[in-house]
Structure 1
Amino acid sequence: MSIDVSPELQTPMRYSKEHKDQIRQQLLSKSGSYAKKHGFAATGVDALAGAAGLTTGSLYKHFDNKTALFSALIEAELDRTLHRFANVKPGDTDAMLKALASYLSMQHVRSPESGCPLPSLTAEIAQSTDDVRAVFETGVLQFKNVLKELTGSDTTAWTLIAQNVGAVMIARAMSHDSVKREIVNAVRAAGANLLVNTPDKE
């Protein structure tokens, strides 16, 4: 004789920590790409979860609320940006120029979902909570310190960040490709001049 077990009484499937971590990283990666393209504040939790192929309930198993997701998403996205400089050595101007050209490219302008989070999300972060801004500040300072190590100058590091992020933001707001291209080309040339002429130490 078989005994039917009510769904409410069935033991829930337990996932390994590794599996949970994989799902969390998937959420951060996919929702991060979605937010960079469509905006975070204006996007519902269902859409952010759906971008990762998950339900809203699954998202809330990993993050207490939408703000917690935003903080984690920003941290993960800034970490990805840092990793792009992992193989660049201090004083390697050629490698820095290649990184500059990649950042200030039409591909980056046209594809926010696969690019740096700063041009896409900084304006929203400025209007967010103190905790979110603190996570952002920590990540940007880490990025600045990496650039300082590569260029030997705090001033050069901050200038490159501000120039490059601003250029991509403004270019994305333009309606004509010719104007977008003019902006990124101009700032790329200015950045290259800055890199070539930066003193060894500040």
Structure 2
Amino acid sequence: MRYATDHKQQTREKLLASSGALAKRGGFAATGVAELMKAIGLTGGAFYNHFPSKDDLFSEIVRRELDNSPLGRLIERGADRPRLKRLLEQYLTLAHLHNAEGGCPLPPLGVEIARAERPVREQAEHWVVTLHQAWSETLEDPELAWALLSQCVGALVVGRMLASEPLQAQLLQASRKLVDQVFDEGR
């Protein structure tokens, strides 16, 4: 049976999308090649037609997820203070907290990125530094940009650790209050 000329690229795209969601939901290291391929209806052996190794797939997932993250859109379009504040308020919501698969990749993948090979960490570092530079310009304060970035990502990490939704809501509300204070003081 002959496949369409773009079949391999379509399969690769499906694998990337599915693997990104699986990695953000349950962890990449804990998911085997067979499970990644089964999620798109193929056998584990077909994996190597698309990536030389699982590490190469993870590197591509990290690049893709960071580029498509809500925070990343501020790098592309630039941000003024009101837009950055709105984005951070949306970031610090229960809807985002409960949507690990469709949300920011830093909270669910951060630890795995930290354990990854140097090229993956360098790729993530480049993205985070670029984001930091954009926020630094908007906030006119590089230290505040680092603190705010860490606060928001950390709030989601800790929020996902909590079992009780009322506690999650309290945590997110406290973080949004801090964001409000930062932006109200900077007027």
Q: Deviations over 1:133-181 (max 9, x none)?
A: 1222122222222323433332222112100110000010111111111
Checking the alignment, whether the CA contact within 8 Å between 2:74 and 2:131 is kept in structure 1 is no
Give the Cα separation in 2 of the matches to 1:69 and 1:190: 37
Q: Which amino acid aligns with 1:65?
A: S
Alignment of 1:40-189 (within 5 A): 40-81=28-69, 82-85=71-74, 89-93=78-82, 95-189=83-177
Give the Cα separation in 2 of the matches to 1:86 and 1:73: 19
Give the CA RMSD over aligned residues: 2.3
Shift of 1:56: 2.5
The aligned length equals 186
Shift of 1:33: 0.9
Closer/same/farther in 2, CA of residues 83 and 137 from structure 1, 3 Å limit? closer
Q: 1:27 aligns with which of 15, 21, 35?
A: 15
Give the Cα separation in 2 of the matches to 1:88 and 1:14: 39
Give the Cα separation in 1 of the matches to 2:14 and 2:184: 39
Shift of 1:15: 4.9
More displaced stretch, 121-130 vs 71-80: 121-130
- Contiguous gaps of at least 5 residues in structure 1: 1-11
Shift of 1:131: 2.1
Closer/same/farther in 2, CA of residues 42 and 90 from structure 1, 3 Å limit? closer
Closer/same/farther in 2, CA of residues 189 and 26 from structure 1, 3 Å limit? same
Give the Cα separation in 2 of the matches to 1:196 and 1:87: 25
TM-score by length of 2: 0.87
Q: Which amino acid aligns with 1:62?
A: H
More displaced stretch, 69-78 vs 131-140: 131-140
Give the Cα separation in 2 of the matches to 1:160 and 1:15: 47
Checking the alignment, whether the CA contact within 8 Å between 1:156 and 1:198 is kept in structure 2 is no
Checking the alignment, whether the CA contact within 8 Å between 2:75 and 2:134 is kept in structure 1 is no
